[in-house]
Amino acid sequence: MQFTTDVQAMTKVGMERLLDQMEGPGPGRVTLYLPPASLPAIRTLLAGTDPELADEVVRKADDTWSGAAVFLSASEAYIVAPPFPIRAENRSDGWNGAPLRALLARRYLLGVVLLRLGAYAVGVLDGDELVASKADTRYVKGKHHAGGWSQQRFARIREKQMRELFDEACEVARSRMAPYERRLDYIFLGGERLTLLAFRKRCPYLEKLAGKIAPRILDVERPNRGALEGIPREVWKCRVTLVRRA
């Protein structure tokens, strides 16, 4: 049996509109809510449904840190990776969007660090409101490919500039997040993955809060004040995978 797959990143408003269209009873309709720890048991929870479609759902639903909401019928399945983890396992007949709506309606306190070489932006979000922030730039040389002594000297200067950028961004993260630290639900990082990995190794404050850092990297081109103000839209995106019989 062949299946087609369509994957979309959907905003909170877009997800709520899709639920408006989807919800309700129907032949063979089942809804599953799976916390991350329940994902390995998805095949058991799908017992009694079409085995080929269930296999396809299993393949598509096992790579998300937030768990999955699965809306399954006889011919298709919507697999929703929400922006924040699902807390309780649930199975019900029909397509039931209520738990997902409740998750999307919750107010979270979030730390945000956006970083690329040359710029950073740090903020704290209470819901969608930016309650603390700072953004700045710091020059970092680009890569040098000439070779020899000149390249080595260039690399040393570049590494020094990167350390200075990381140290400044780390201190700003500490100063802006510390007043909210105990109440933070999650911390999101945005920018270029390898740069963020190097930054985390250099920033003891973030490593202290490693348990709060979401593994999902936010897509940000230019870390600045404007990016911070628009970041709630990115934070709240759901990944929606639609699997259909071809």
Domains of the chain: 3-106 (3.30.960.10), 109-234 (3.30.420.60)
116 pLDDT more than 90? yes
What is the pTM (predicted TM-score) of this model? 0.88
Res. 1: pLDDT tops 80 = no
Distance CA 193, CA 171 (A): 20
Q: Please report, as a single letter, which amino acid is at residue 32.
A: L
Per-residue pLDDT at 98 exceeds 60: yes
Mean confidence (pLDDT) of the chain: 90
Q: For residue 150, what pLDDT band results from cuts at 50, 70 and 90?
A: low
Does 144 have pLDDT greater than 60?
no
Residue pair 169/111 in contact (Cβ under 8 Å)? The answer is no
d(CA 22, CA 40): 26
CA pair distance 73, 28, nearest whole angstrom: 5
pLDDT above 50 (res 17): yes
Angle (nearest 5°) at CA 194 between 222 and 7: 75
Query: pLDDT digit string (tens) for 200-214?
Result: 999 999 999 999 999
User: What is the rounded distance in angstroms from the CA atom of residue 209 to the CA atom of residue 187?
Assistant: 8
* Residue 149 binned pLDDT confidence (cut-offs 50, 70, 90): very low
pLDDT at res. 171: 97
Query: Would you state the structure tokens that stand for residue 162, as one six-digit string?
Result: 């990167």
Mean pLDDT, range 13-17, rounded to an integer: 97
pLDDT band, very low/low/confident/very high, at 66 (cuts 50, 70, 90)? very high
Please report which helix (H) or strand (E) contains residue 95, including its range.
none
Say what the pLDDT of residue 103 is: 96
Radius of gyration in angstroms for the set of CA atoms belonging to the chain, rounded to a whole number: 21
Token code pair at residue 76: 């298709």
Q: What is the pLDDT of residues 24-62, one digit of tens each?
A: 998 889 999 999 888 877 777 777 777 888 888 888 877
Q: What is the mean pLDDT of residues 141-154?
A: 58
Asked if the model's pLDDT at residue 178 lies above 60, the reply is yes
